[in-house]
Amino acid sequence: MKLLFEFGIILFITFLGEALYAVLPLPIPASVYGLLLMLLALCTGVIKLEKVKRASDFLIEIMPPMFIPAAVGLVAVWDSLMPMLFPISVIIAATTILVMAVTGRTAQFVIRRKKGRNPENE
């Protein structure tokens, strides 16, 4: 029963994201609104992490199989995709490297900043 309650909280936040998408004239997807609302609720303490942890862990665990229909869809349009395969591959490789570099730099910045604030390191 607790798991259903946790799913209910997540679905309610998702619904609020959909409502914001319908009301606000910004070109932001409803899922992003929902994620921002969940982040805000967790950061402010409106929702405690323990109230959604099990359901969110479950959703993260089942995420990989959710990409199977998209992969099957790519196989279905392979003939149309074939002429664009090289440019798409270059774009994917370049953006992957860029995301890895930015993520690494950001992580290094955060780690250095935390070490600078830690009184044990002084």
**Percent of the chain whose predicted confidence (pLDDT) is above 70:** 95
Given this model, what pLDDT does residue 118 score? 59
CA-to-CA separations, 109 to 56, 87, 117, in angstroms, rounded: 28, 33, 13
Given this model, what pLDDT does residue 122 score? 45
Given this model, what pLDDT does residue 97 score? 98
For the chain, the structural domain boundaries read: 1-66, 76-122
Please say if the pLDDT value at position 79 is more than 50: yes
pLDDT tens per residue, range 83-106: 999 999 999 999 999 999 999 999
* Those residues with Cβ within 8 angstroms of residue 88's Cβ, 6 or more apart along the chain or in another chain: 81
Q: Tell me which DSSP letter residue 28 carries.
A: -
